[in-house]
Amino acid sequence: MKILTLFLVLTLSITSGFAQTTAAPQPPARNAADVISIYGEAYTNIAGVNTNPNWGQSTVVTEVNIAGNKALQYTNFNYQGTDWAGTPQNIAAMEFLHVDVWTNNQSPNVFVISSGVEIPHPIGSQPGSWKSVDIPVAGITGNLSSAIQFKFDGGSGGTIVLDNLYFWKKPVAPGTDASLSDLKVDGSTVSGFASNTTSYTVGRLIGSPLPKITAATTTDTAATTVITNATAVPGNAKVEVTSKNGTVKRTYTISYIFAGPSTAAPVPPNRNASDVISIFSNSYKNVNIDAFSAVWDDSDVEDVKIAGNDTKKITFGNFLGIDFSTPGNHLNLSGMTRFHMDFFTETPAVIGKVFNSKFVDFGGTAAEKSAGELNINDGTNPAVVSGQWISIDVPITIGPWTNNITRTDVAQFVISSNLKEVYVDNIYFYKPGTVNTDDSVLKQDRVKVFPNPVKSGDFLKYEGDIQNGEIYDIRGVKVLSLDNSNSTDILLDKGVYILKVKTASGEFITKKLIIQ
């Protein structure tokens, strides 16, 4: 029997190119509630796991048997994945991700993929022997409530073997669990939430509604909670959790702070419709978009309002794809001569940061034929700067946008960046034409608002094709809405305000309003 076993091991080594003869360490016994197993034989694995999702990589996946134990062998390793998208897992209540890895001089990383940003975590290298790695779940991915994949990269064509891929937590005595498995603010799980992390900081845009805790789900359904919401921003909200037997208490705290731009992006000038092609702006009629975040990008986008102005908040992985490739949505930019986009980031250290944009021309085909790319960094003009709106306004007929490209069949617009969060507005192409050079003045032939300045306590009068209007203070907080009576009583403190009007044609026009 020993001779036969040795023969089988030698045969495996010769036929597979794999030289490991010892199985991965055996995991300890755990309660079912304390583990979520993706691959391995120690625990019951979740359903629907695909260990070879075929992402077009050169890595060859083989399930091998090592001393009676199954493992995943990756040869010609560059990157590979394990997918369970059909059964997403909430791993927030777990404490660690466990991986057993054997390599022949590779240094792989593991990513836990969810709807949030991809975050690499080194597994390390211990050539020739098994290495057991436990990575804290807190901070392992952008959204712990919906983990759907592993990605492994960092290979250089060698071999790695993986086993015992599971999430786990330390057991607690029955009745003493005072943890949360989920914590939601305004319907969304708090960014970076993990069961054993009790303090969070959440940024809110100035002028946004007061945030509210909408769900605090206990890991033990018999535990109880008391929620105290914040009364203002900045301010704190708390969830006090008491275990079933009443002996253990835990408090989760959310600190709300102001984040993002304090003012809306600059208002573009009024232009003739024939002089502008707008992808996104309240100032112009926008073209038809298939998706502002295409299925093939790795970033997230959120619609927000800043001082009443529609803005896009991008949380970058690597790039965002704005797609309008459906036939009939392609753009002919041959008549346009300039490109404009406004962006804002609060990333404090901008050295080495980039914000690049590219339009993709299909040239009558079904895919990219040529592309023009504009690179913005901390040394360009304009440059990446933190804490203020940056306006890009450059020719598209000279410089980095040319590269022998065409502009008659543009079907995609791509933004790539290593800035984590960026706000964008006013993405459009244009040509010089008839422009109202006073961007802040309401068109007098269509809308009249008077008097301005107006005394506090007096009536502000307005007439014309006003669909609706709002007044904001300098923090971007809405303080008054215009009704349909053609006048409103101004009972506001003295100061400078922003008046924003939407016309019947859907155009947004803003003006500085002074209250004396």
> Count of alpha carbons within 13 Å of 318, Cβ hemisphere only?
6
Each residue's pLDDT tens digit, 114-153: 876 778 999 877 777 899 999 999 889 878 888 999 999 9
CB neighbours (10 Å) of residue 425?
Answer: 25
Per DSSP, the three-state class of 9 is helix
CB 205 within 8 A of CB 259: yes
Q: How far apart are CA 285 and CA 281, in angstroms?
A: 8
Class of residue 170 by CB neighbours under 10 A (exposed 0-12, middle 13-18, buried 19+) = exposed
Mean pLDDT calculated for residue range 238-253? 97
In whole numbers, what is the pLDDT of the chain averaged over residues?
86
Mean pLDDT calculated for residue range 403-428? 88
pLDDT surpasses 80 at 435: no
Q: What pLDDT does 232 receive?
A: 92
Is the overall model pTM greater than 0.85, yes or no?
Answer: no
pLDDT band at 444 (very low <50, low <70, confident <90, very high): very low
Ranked by mean pLDDT, the top range of 319-328, 391-400, 454-463 is: 319-328
Q: How far apart are CA 297 and CA 317, in angstroms?
A: 8
Q: What pLDDT does 16 receive?
A: 42
CB 343 within 8 A of CB 355: yes
Q: What pLDDT does 106 receive?
A: 84
Share of the chain above pLDDT 70, in %: 90
CB 141 within 8 A of CB 119: yes
| Close Cβ partners of 347 (under 8 Å, ≥ 6 residues apart) | 353, 386, 419, 420, 421
- Fold identical between 270-436 and 447-515? no
Each residue's pLDDT tens digit, 1-34: 444 444 444 434 433 445 568 999 999 999 999 9
Each residue's pLDDT tens digit, 221-238: 999 999 999 999 999 999
Q: What pLDDT does 504 receive?
A: 66
Each residue's pLDDT tens digit, 23-71: 999 999 999 999 999 999 999 999 999 999 988 788 999 999 999 999 9
Q: CATH number of the domain at 447-515, please?
A: 2.60.40
Fold of 2-168: Jelly Rolls (2.60.120)
Q: What pLDDT does 516 receive?
A: 78
Fold of 180-258: Immunoglobulin-like (2.60.40)
Mean pLDDT calculated for residue range 429-449? 59
pLDDT surpasses 80 at 399: no
Amino acid letter, residue 497: Y
pLDDT surpasses 80 at 449: no
Domain residue limits, the chain: 2-168, 180-258, 270-436, 447-515
Q: CATH number of the domain at 270-436, please?
A: 2.60.120.430
